[in-house]
Amino acid sequence: MKIRDAVLLSASRSTTSKSSFATSFFLLAILWTTIFAVPLASAQVEPATPDCFSAERILVKPKSGADLTALHDALGTTVIRSYPTIGDLEVVQLPEGASVTNVLLQFQQSGLVQYAEPDYIIHALNTVPNDPLFSIPDNIPDKVDQWGMNNLGQDNGTAGADINAPEAWDIQ
């Protein structure tokens, strides 16, 4: 019996050791990921600056059934455009010299709007496709695989017989 007990005790220690190692490794992996992933993710966040949004317009979404006419009159704002399919979202023109922050605060505190926010200005970052089969340089026409996008005359084809895709992507 004593030999059997010793074998069982040894087996249980081995299992505990393996389990402890796996747990330690898992916790270390999580810690390592957290240390290096979180700073990278937070470094990409940029706060909104005044040049990121229009100083002349804001976006306002009235609460269902709310009439903002009196509020617009009081603040001197004008509805430039309304979008009925987006809950009557309004593009609102501010009076000359008005502070975007102050007008937003007045709309938000009125209790008549679901939200009011700056009209953020967005820009396309990259208008050329990042497809490696497309972006082969023009000086290697035999290597262009998507000739229908930008036909350079490869394989005895007619240069320019394509859909003018690069020209469409380059619209400013």
The per-residue pLDDT for range 38-63, each reduced to its tens digit, is 554 444 444 455 679 999 999 999 99
pLDDT tens digits for the chain (172 residues)? 566 555 445 555 555 556 677 777 777 667 666 666 555 444 444 445 567 999 999 999 999 999 999 999 999 999 999 999 999 999 999 999 999 999 999 999 999 999 999 999 987 666 666 666 665 555 555 555 665 676 777 777 788 887 777 777 666 5
Nearest 5°: phi and psi at 150? -150, 85
What is residue 44's predicted lDDT score, i.e. its pLDDT?
45
Order of strands across the sheet that contains 113-120: 78-83, 89-93, 53-62, 113-120
What is the rounded CA–CA span in Å between residue 122 and residue 155? Answer: 41
Stated pTM of the model: 0.50
Structure token digits, residue 159: 């240069």
Sign of CA dihedral 45, 50, 53, 58: positive
Q: What per-residue confidence (pLDDT) applies to 46?
A: 47
* Tokens linked to 136: 């082969």
Q: Which residues contact 158 (CB under 8 A, 6 or more apart)?
A: 151
Q: Is the Cβ–Cβ distance between 151 and 159 less than 8 Å?
A: yes
Q: What's the CATH superfamily of 50-120?
A: Peptidase S8 propeptide/proteinase inhibitor I9 (3.30.70.80)
